[in-house]
Amino acid sequence: MAVQRRIDLALDSVKRLQRIGATANLLNLLQKQHPADLAQIFSELNDRDREAAFSMLADRNGRLAMEAVSELGPEAGSALLATRPADEIARLAQEIPSDDAAALIDNLPEDLSSSVLDLMRPKESGVVENLLEYPEQTAGRIMNPNVFALSEDMTVGEAIGELQASRDVEMVFYLYVVDARRHLVGVVSLRRLLLVSPETPLKRIMTAELMSARVDTDQEEVARQVASYNLLAIPVVDEENKLVGLITVDDVIDVIKDEATEDIYRLAGVSGDESVNTPAPESLRKRLPWLGINLGTAFLASSVVALFERTIDQVTALAVFMPIVAGMGGNAATQTLTVIVRGIALGELNWTNSRKALAKEAMVGIGNGVVLGVVAALVAWLTRGSPVLGLLLCAAMIINMFVAATAGTLIPLGLRAVNIDPALASSVFITTMTDIFGFASFLGLATLFLKYL
Amino acid sequence: MAVQRRIDLALDSVKRLQRIGATANLLNLLQKQHPADLAQIFSELNDRDREAAFSMLADRNGRLAMEAVSELGPEAGSALLATRPADEIARLAQEIPSDDAAALIDNLPEDLSSSVLDLMRPKESGVVENLLEYPEQTAGRIMNPNVFALSEDMTVGEAIGELQASRDVEMVFYLYVVDARRHLVGVVSLRRLLLVSPETPLKRIMTAELMSARVDTDQEEVARQVASYNLLAIPVVDEENKLVGLITVDDVIDVIKDEATEDIYRLAGVSGDESVNTPAPESLRKRLPWLGINLGTAFLASSVVALFERTIDQVTALAVFMPIVAGMGGNAATQTLTVIVRGIALGELNWTNSRKALAKEAMVGIGNGVVLGVVAALVAWLTRGSPVLGLLLCAAMIINMFVAATAGTLIPLGLRAVNIDPALASSVFITTMTDIFGFASFLGLATLFLKYL
């Protein structure tokens, strides 16, 4: 709360100083902010004020300005950066670690990003271009190539000297040890250096068994490794086990958030790279295919209704109640599906324990069906005066809730088994099934017992 | 991949050794595993084998066994722990940090947890009971109370001595400095200690401005602070600013995962503390209220259909197509809702930029409506031979997609404004709206143009 309040106060001051044009005071205020706070302030200003504030700060304190842009995230950050000329972007990009620069440059419009790379110092643009060569969502793409390493032939005293001389190295807490050809051979903690005498050879106190990630490891796998072994950072090596970079826990937190967003989105049929800031035409293009598939399945379900048109023609009340059976099945299926998909994502569910999960969901489904079916039956009976209609509604709801539970469990597990992301395709399958079974069970039963209605 | 393969191999060996009863070899193998790997191995064994492996390891290496139980998470971990007698649980609980012990003990059945607390050493049960007194989901509940602190009167040399003498302290990288009454007054990094001479007073090199969390701060707020300022740990203080605990970044990662699960669940109407392992009766009890609300809203939507029973009676085909209009509205609304809710959760969306988001979603909604409406109209025309039916379907779909987009944007923002979690209540509101508007627009238009059908 206190943090949010401080940011709100700063935001109010920024707006006020911009309004009255007090440039010197404004610059002074901006320079006092933490990059993360600046990012939040930027995101709450309107486009014009944000660009004005950014360009003013970029002139004076390029590093802070770029750290704030970096905190905005690649999409919003690049959009803000793109408002500046290419030569200025090239200068600014050199102020931040190359992995952060690469993420921003990668999101600039194509022609702008290549001019920026041309205008950067050859050494730095080379590093950025190297990073951009790794496929997206791999360790190589998100690592910081500027990793601090000690030679295995050093003593502890020399190591401390090296550390004291180094500046600008990202979060040093594990010290990686390499051989003459930069192969990763061990790790020493900073704390361990304090516990031994300066003459001790590094080799003697280093731990040779250590976790590392390969440049081509999937970022989700890296995040799982760092999170489950409670690491603060993980070294990244190439195919020859040479140390090429470092991924720190704050990068991992970003990956975990992104992957959670992806899961949430996929369950709803939204593509992972969409956000509230995506322009309308792009959002439309991304969402239409999913809705198109849904339209196809909706017609499939409606063709089931068409099979029973003669029954509906005789008892119109059926048309009033049939959406309830289908809709409640869909809601119950969504609950089951969500628990199962999240269970798979968190590694709690696999084939071994899937039988237990299926039995449980089936029981919950029948239980829900009985309780809600009885309530719905009473409402139908009271409003329509037909106990038979109520009984049919109850029976159809129990059947459909059972279908919802089993489909909601088996479909994601089945997709997982054939290596399709269960979150991606599950919801369209199961709502189609609950619509079809909902309509078929209710209208089918009604057709069988038509003479009692 | 390599990590997963190693665990799979170990799991196969565990199963084989259990089958042939090679106890000594099994124990040997279990003892060599990392706690996180052990947790995964445990979770993939069946109940009987898991309990056998855990009890064998607990006798020999209680600490490792408990670290693995802790990695299983509070729910599955407590379930495994509950298979042992209370006095053994009390002994084992003392092997791990008190915050981890508290999380496990809190999830034991009520009578078992109180016997365990009675059987623990008074000092340790006191610490655990203290932690359990803080409300759930606050900093106090998840912090480790065993925090390493240095006195402000020390020199750097004394501080290093203190550090060398300390064992068993969780991840030391920031060293917190306190005054005589344990008020938090500053912080020194381990690296900084290496850069100055031993006689330097700690006071001179410490940073007095530092982030801290209050015991009653919400864990989500703590996680946001640690993540946005890229911290490795945050000290926790009481109302008097006395240092009482430490939250490390690995705890924060757990919070971020839990909060993402909660968001995913709430969008689907599942309560945050459910998982694939929740017993059926409990799941049923947790899911029924949500389905009950949905049943109420389903009857509300069906009463709209009932208003048009006479129209349906004349043109039964309307009953066939009306679920398409309602269902597609629901799908489109879910997409919009998900992007908006996630945007709010990630702090990308607020009242200031909500007008832009609303305009965008409305455009996307109308665009989707036009494209899908035209397709649906063609299908209806071709299958039913009625161009008017097609036109009505198209018009109703455009209207409902527009409603879906605006409701999907405004409802979560509105809930947020009155401090209700937008993920919690949004989906039931908007699918009710898209059902009602879907039925009303399609059947209403059909009633108006009945003579052309």
- The answer to whether A23 contacts chain B (CB < 8 Å) is no
3-state secondary structure B288-351: HHHHHHHHHHHHHHHHHHHHCHHHHHHCCHHHHHHHHHHHHHHHHHHHHHHHHHHHHHCCCCCH
Q: What is the DSSP letter of B450?
A: G
Number of H helices, E strands in chain A: 22, 6
Interface test with B, best of A315, A335, A431 (most B CBs within 10 A): A335
**What is the least distance, in Å, from the CA of B281 to any CA of chain A?**
7
The CATH number of the structural domain formed by A149-248 is 3.10.580.10
Inter-helix orientation angle A317-345/B280-307, to 10°: 150
Q: Structure tokens of A354?
A: 């899937």
Q: Give the whole-angstrom CA distance, residue B318 versus residue B299.
A: 19
Answer whether B86's CB lies under 8 Å from B105's CB: no
Q: Of residues B202 and A163, which shows the higher confidence score?
A: B202
* CB atoms near residue B229 (< 10 Å): 16
Q: Which of residues 220-249 of A touch B (CB under 8 A)?
A: 221, 225, 227-230, 232, 249
**What is the least distance, in Å, from the CA of B23 to any CA of chain A?**
24
| CB contacts, 8 Å: B138 with chain A | none
- Identify the band that residue B263 occupies on the pLDDT scale cut at 50, 70 and 90: confident
**What is the least distance, in Å, from the CA of A88 to any CA of chain B?**
27
pLDDT (0 to 100) of residue B430: 83
Strand partners, B235: B246
Percent of chain B clearing pLDDT 70 (strictly above): 98
| CB contacts, 8 Å: A211 with chain B | 3
pLDDT (0 to 100) of residue B425: 65
Domain definitions of chain B by residue range: 2-133, 149-256, 280-452
**Contact across the interface for B335 and A270, Cβ inside 8 Å:** yes
**pLDDT exceeds 70 at position B221:** yes
Query: Mean pLDDT: which of B4-8, B257-261, B448-452 is highest?
Result: B448-452
Interface test with A, best of B275, B291, B336 (most A CBs within 10 A): B291
| Summary mean pLDDT of chain B | 90
pTM score of the predicted model: 0.81
Strand partners, B4: none
Interface test with B, best of A169, A251, A342, A394 (most B CBs within 10 A): A342
Q: Looking at A69-78, A379-388, A433-442, B108-117, which range is the least confident one?
A: A69-78
β-strands A184-189, A174-178 pairing: antiparallel
pLDDT (0 to 100) of residue B1: 46
pLDDT tens, position by position, A262-292: 888 888 888 877 888 788 898 999 899 989 9
Sign of CA dihedral A186, A190, A195, A199: positive
- pLDDT (average), residues A336-364: 85
Inter-helix orientation angle B280-307/A354-384, to 10°: 40
Tell me which residue of B423, B73, B79, B134 sits closest to B282, measured CA to CA: B79
pLDDT (0 to 100) of residue A230: 87
Edge to edge, what strands does the sheet with A243-248 contain?
A213-214, A233-237, A243-248
* CB atoms near residue B314 (< 10 Å): 14
pLDDT (0 to 100) of residue A170: 53
pLDDT tens, position by position, B12-28: 999 999 999 999 999 99
Amino acid at B293: I
What is the ipTM score, two decimals?
Answer: 0.80
pLDDT (0 to 100) of residue A2: 64
Tell me which residue of B260, B426, B420 sits closest to B346, measured CA to CA: B260
Answer whether A449's CB lies under 8 Å from A388's CB: yes
Helices (H), A45-138: 47-60, 62-71, 74-81, 86-93, 98-106, 110-119, 122-133
Helices (H), B166-238: 190-195, 202-205, 219-228
Q: What are phi and psi of B184, to 5 degrees?
A: -75, 120
Which residues touch B111 (CB under 8 Å, ≥6 apart)?
A: none
Q: Give the whole-angstrom CA distance, residue B290 versus residue A372.
A: 11
Answer whether B259's CB lies under 8 Å from B224's CB: no
- CA distances to A156, A188, A190, A206 from A196, rounded to whole Å, are 8, 12, 11, 12
CATH 1.25.60.10 fits A2-133, yes or no: yes
Number of H helices, E strands in chain B: 22, 6
**pLDDT exceeds 80 at position B424:** no
Q: Structure tokens of B323?
A: 């679920």
**pLDDT exceeds 80 at position B254:** yes
Q: Which of residues 390-429 of A touch B (CB under 8 A)?
A: none
pLDDT (0 to 100) of residue B4: 73
pLDDT (0 to 100) of residue A425: 65
pLDDT (0 to 100) of residue A43: 84
Place of tokens 């009653």: B216
**pLDDT exceeds 90 at position A74:** no
Pick the CATH number of B149-256 from 3.10.580.10, 3.30.1600.10, 3.90.1170.30, 3.40.50.970: 3.10.580.10
pLDDT (0 to 100) of residue A1: 46
- pLDDT (average), residues B52-59: 94
- Identify the band that residue B342 occupies on the pLDDT scale cut at 50, 70 and 90: confident
CA B448 to chain centre: 49
- Residue B151: Cβ-neighbour burial (10 angstroms; 0-12, 13-18, 19+): middle
**pLDDT exceeds 90 at position B270:** no
- The answer to whether B76 contacts chain A (CB < 8 Å) is yes
Tell me which residue of B349, B303, B252 sits closest to B443, measured CA to CA: B303
**Contact across the interface for A323 and B335, Cβ inside 8 Å:** no
Answer whether A274's CB lies under 8 Å from A286's CB: yes
pLDDT tens, position by position, A169-220: 555 678 899 999 999 999 998 878 877 888 999 999 999 988 999 999 999 8
Percent of chain A clearing pLDDT 70 (strictly above): 98
Q: How many interface pairs between A and B have CB atoms less than 8 angstroms apart?
A: 319
B280-452 CATH fold = Tetracycline Repressor; domain 2 (1.10.357)
| CB contacts, 8 Å: A372 with chain B | 288, 291-292, 295
pLDDT (0 to 100) of residue A171: 53
Q: Give the whole-angstrom CA distance, residue B274 versus residue A346.
A: 13
pLDDT (0 to 100) of residue B168: 58
Q: Give the whole-angstrom CA distance, residue A40 versus residue A42.
A: 5
User: Looking at chain A, which residue has its C-alpha nearest residue B157?
Assistant: A194
pLDDT (0 to 100) of residue A20: 93
- Identify the band that residue B223 occupies on the pLDDT scale cut at 50, 70 and 90: very high
